[in-house]
Amino acid sequence: SGGRYGFAQSTFQVGGNAGSAFGPLLAAAIIIPYGQGNVAWFGLFALFAVGLLYVISRWYRTHLSLFKLKAGQKATHGLSKRRVLSALVVLGLLVFSKYFYMASLTSYYTFFLIQKFDVSIANSQMYLFLFLGAVAAGTFFGGPIGDRIGRKAVIWFSILGVAPFTLLLPYADLFWTSVLSVVIGFILASAFSAIVVYAQELVPGNVGMIAGIFFGLMFGFGGIGAALLGHLADIHGIEYVYKLCSYLPLFGVLAIFLPRTKKV
């Protein structure tokens, strides 16, 4: 990556997010009119990905010795172990707030639109595509912006800065709901690559371990959030869930406890 770690992390993540964005679009265009059996055709993309990963794995094996040389890097930020640990805990809480809120949109946004605005299933998938497309764009741009202005600034803005929009969304009409969802998706998604690279710079030489921890938290919190929010929606209704989740980005104020260093 030539030192552009945020750009590299964003590039790695944007493929998955872009694929997720096209999922609802393909569902509206193919599955709804032609049936679920046509999902099998998308298996061809998976076979292509297997071949691509095989090529990449061969390249990685030939360059593995270079990566091993970098594994022994020492921390240069001058922070104590306790300070590093507290910063990692704060990052974990920020991931919690981010992905619990994201779960409310990725899992239940279509139900919210159908129930509140009486849109069709196909149209709800189009609105979900707009949101997920904004997530993919935010993921891609968040890393390079972090390389340029600093990761802490991106984390601050991405999580706390999105709060005014999440607080407005439950009370907006259909047009402004779609606009706000795009703004929320773009801003909120820009944080994760900055969070991962920030954590990797706090604990240098453990790139794989840190990435594994935070990707695990991402999927774990997202899954738990989807289940818990679904339970709350069954009891109190989907609009209650969105009003409750609108406060989650206020966790972004915890970013004040993240240390400022030359490297981060």
Q: Residues 158-213: pLDDT tens digits?
A: 999 999 999 999 999 999 999 999 999 999 999 888 899 899 889 888 888 998 99
Residue with tokens 């297997």: 50
Look up residue 126 and give its two tokens.
Answer: 């189009």
Task: Write down the pLDDT at residue 64.
Answer: 67
Look up residue 67 and give its two tokens.
Answer: 């990566």
Q: H helices of 118-173, where?
A: 121-149, 151-155, 163-168
Q: pTM above 0.85?
A: no
Out of 5-9, 109-113, 197-201, least confident range: 5-9
Q: Is 75 left (phi over 0), alpha (psi -120 to 50) or beta?
A: beta
Residues 6 or more apart in contact with residue 160 via CB below 8 angstroms: 249, 250, 252, 253, 255
CB 30 within 8 A of CB 38: yes
Give the Cα separation of 224 and 201 in Å (integer): 28
Mean pLDDT of the chain: 86
What mean pLDDT do residues 70-77 have? 58
Task: Write down the pLDDT at residue 230.
Answer: 95
CA end-to-end distance (rounded Å), the chain: 17
Architecture of domain 5-34+73-257: Up-down Bundle (1.20)
Give the Cα separation of 175 and 179 in Å (integer): 6
